[in-house]
Amino acid sequence: MGHAVKECLFTQDYLDTLLPLETSDKFFEALYGDAEDGAYDIRLEFISANAKRIVLAFNLIKRPGKCLVCSLTYGLPNVFSRHPLINIKGMVKKIEESGIRIKSWRIGDTEEQSNSLHTIPFFLNLE
């Protein structure tokens, strides 16, 4: 994995191309029929990387006046792994197009960081 590829992959701008900011509203529109009903924004974040694995996270950031804890975020890893709007397979393909070879990927369990932030780890195992 070249140094330039690493730098490019882990910038917030690049991560926002994998999961655009408007995805949150589209996700809640598909789920509830109205984006206003969404309790959080979804944002991809870089956590760590080594020769064998890249760890990203889906940050679920509470929207003002909403309840993140009430939002059943614990069921989301299964939903995210197959939801067409989140499009994990598309993300993996884009990352591979940047020259990184991914052997497998896995979404971890929702972790409650605080009342206003839950995270879902996204593990990319490298070839």
pLDDT by residue (tens digit) across 59-113?
999 999 999 888 888 889 999 999 999 999 999 999 999 899 999 999 999 999 9
Report the distance separating Cα 32 and Cα 26, nearest Å. Answer: 10
Report the distance separating Cα 122 and Cα 106, nearest Å. Answer: 6
Confidence check: pLDDT of 4 > 60:
no
Residue by residue, DSSP assigns 78-113 as: HHHHH-TTT-HHHHHHHHHHTT--EEEEEE---EEE
Average pLDDT, the chain: 90
